[in-house]
Amino acid sequence: MDRDDFIITVYCLVCQHYQAVCATLPHRLRRGGFEPALTDEEVITIELCGEYFKMNTDKDLFAYFHTHYPHFFPRLQERTRFVRQAANLWQLKARLQQRLAQVAGAADDPVQVIDTLPLPVCTFTRSRRERCFVGVADYGYCAAKQLTYYGFKLGLRIARCGMITHYPLLAARPHDVRHLPALVEGFAGLVPADKGFIDPFEQHLQVHRNQVQVVTPPRQNMQAPAAHSPALLKACARIRKQVETVGSHLTERFQVARIRVHDLWHFQHRLIRKVLAHTVVVFLNLQLGRPPLDLDGLVCL
């Protein structure tokens, strides 16, 4: 499909699930005042399509759609109101992402992979002067990228189809295995993970408390647990590649490591928007019978 078809398809998808998601909110979206010029469905569509088109700032989003798509969004006139309305819809977008994962069947997948991604909030050389996330962000180290950074970690739990089912924002300093309870929260089943999650005591605890079996590859000169057969380890190694692909999507196309805002609330809103955009594209690929993680081939740019 071309860009016009993609925008229309995303808009129809958002409209299809909008009312069901609003019904799950603990309070009304608006308690009074005038109705906004743009509908919520239009705002979310602009955000998701802009993220897919690699426009990572609100300024770029507004400029592109205001210039090239006034026939689709004739009431898109003022950037300040658009940005404010988009930010206030963060809770609805988070629930929309959860609903799509449930409708696609990803949330009920008994096998889900976990991993973490570094989320720097500024360059390392500027971290000592950073005043926006004092007391919240911290220094961390990513062994896979050999990167020391200042910021957070993004936890990822994905189904075998590649759709994100859980994405907690985590502290950067603790080791990955300390975040295992947060990553498997609300889940019971098989969890392939990398060597950073090796901890026999914690894995044993998860089996007995939450019925979660964490499968990690053994380190060199380390014997694998008796319950982990070679066939199981081989299958989990193949499944783990999915989370690496999803991580590269979030890092390269959606630029989660380049979110530059001044407070945690806006940081989480941008993060939710990027995860939702990825979920929508995977959802559309599944509906069209395409490879779920083939993001580039969905739209002829």
What's the pLDDT band for 301 if we cut at 50, 70, 90? low
Q: Which of 92, 85, 90, 89 is nearest to 22 (CA)?
A: 92
Residues in a beta bridge with 114:
157
Q: What's the whole-model pTM score? A: 0.91
Tell me the longest C-alpha to C-alpha distance in the chain: 67
128-172 pLDDT, tens digit per residue, is: 777 777 778 888 888 777 888 888 999 999 998 889 999 999 988
42 burial level (CB within 10 Å; 0-12, 13-18, 19+) = buried
30-83 pLDDT, tens digit per residue, is: 766 677 888 889 999 999 999 999 888 888 999 999 999 999 999 888 889 899
176 burial level (CB within 10 Å; 0-12, 13-18, 19+) = buried
104-138 pLDDT, tens digit per residue, is: 999 999 999 999 999 888 777 777 777 777 778 88
Distance (Å, whole) CA 149 – CA 133:
14
